[in-house]
């Protein structure tokens, strides 16, 4: 099946699962064009869905009416589907492969995106994380501090943080719901490469090589140009989460 979208691959992932490191490495090491989170609600990067909608008066009007959380998942939200289709099918002949990142939350909010990815047999890198509690708490910390990326080593190693146990649990449940929804779309989908944060960073060169092969990409000068990004939360949760035991107890005692 010929791909009619402007994208050749997508990194489908929850937050804090190593996708930034992987995508920046791909960007530095290959000729692939990387657009990152084009469906992020607060993104106004040049290639984002928000910018696309606001470039046309008709699209902007439809976006104001139908691109809203309360109705974005409505089954028959045809105006929003129309906007997404126009955005993704904005195809032009290109010599470079192009990819973007789609978070679980964004895929769940915009169900039509998955529809068109599958329809066009887009290559999907499914990057998840086994340690879901660390992933969720790291995400909540990033949102609290607004610090998502760093090239400094252990810049917050001396700081501790406290998190609402109900909020942590709710995010865990949301992650589970979103993941199940996404996996149901790919039960019989073969054009997908699955890995985890743990497998990526336990043998980075092997996984990176597998990804290059899957995407039919090559390194520009036959070597990996690693990103300078560092892990923000390098210590175990117990070291920097003040109410770690309270969170664990709440999760264990909650009927969900």
- Going residue by residue through the chain, which has 256 residues, state the pLDDT in tens, using 9 for 90 and above: 566 788 999 999 998 898 988 999 999 899 999 998 999 888 788 889 999 999 889 999 999 888 887 787 887 889 999 999 999 987 665 678 999 999 999 999 998 999 999 999 999 999 999 999 999 999 998 888 877 655 555 555 568 899 999 999 999 999 999 999 999 988 889 999 999 999 999 999 999 999 999 999 988 888 887 766 666 667 888 988 999 999 999 999 987 6
Q: Which pLDDT score is estimated for 121?
A: 92
pLDDT at 159: 84
Whether 99 contacts 35, CB under 8 Å: yes
Question: Is there a domain that residue 240 lies in?
Answer: yes
Q: How many domains does the chain have?
A: 1
**Any domain includes 2:** no
Say if CB 14 and CB 175 are below 8 A apart.
yes
* 242 within 8 A of 162, measured Cβ to Cβ: yes
Query: Has residue 3 been placed in a domain?
Result: no
Q: Residue 1: inside a domain, yes or no?
A: no
Domain enclosing residue 204, as ranges: 9-253
CA-only gyration radius of the chain, Å: 19
183: CATH:
3.40.50.300
Does residue 4 belong to any structural domain of this protein?
A: no
Are the C-beta atoms of residues 241 and 247 closer than 8 Å to each other?
A: yes
Which tokens in the block code for residue 244? 């770690």
- pTM score of the predicted model: 0.89
């Amino acid at each position: 099946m010929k791909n009619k979208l402007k994208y050749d691959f997508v990194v489908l992932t929850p937050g804090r699962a190593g996708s930034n490191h992987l995508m920046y490495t791909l960007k530095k090491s290959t000729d692939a064009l990387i657009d990152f989170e084009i469906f992020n609600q607060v993104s106004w990067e040049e290639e984002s869905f928000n910018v696309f909608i606001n470039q046309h008066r008709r699209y902007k009007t439809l976006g104001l009416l139908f691109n809203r959380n309360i109705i974005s998942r409505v089954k028959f939200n045809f105006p929003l589907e129309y906007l997404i289709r126009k955005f993704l099918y904005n195809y032009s002949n290109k010599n470079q492969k192009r990819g973007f990142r789609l978070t679980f939350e964004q895929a769940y909010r915009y169900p039509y995106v998955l529809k068109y990815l599958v329809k066009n047999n887009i290559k999907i890198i499914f990057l998840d994380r086994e340690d879901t509690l660390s992933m969720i708490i790291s995400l909540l910390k990033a949102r609290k501090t607004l610090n998502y990326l760093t090239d400094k080593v252990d810049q917050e190693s001396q700081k501790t943080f406290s998190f609402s146990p109900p909020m942590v649990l709710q995010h865990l449940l949301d992650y589970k719901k979103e993941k199940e929804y996404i996996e149901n779309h790919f039960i019989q989908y073969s054009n997908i490469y699955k890995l985890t944060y743990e497998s990526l960073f336990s043998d980075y060169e092997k996984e990176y090589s597998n990804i290059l092969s899957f995407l039919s990409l090559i390194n520009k000068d036959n070597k990996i140009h690693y990103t300078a990004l560092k892990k923000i939360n390098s210590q175990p949760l117990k070291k920097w989460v003040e109410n770690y035991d309270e969170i664990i107890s709440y999760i264990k005692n909650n009927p969900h």
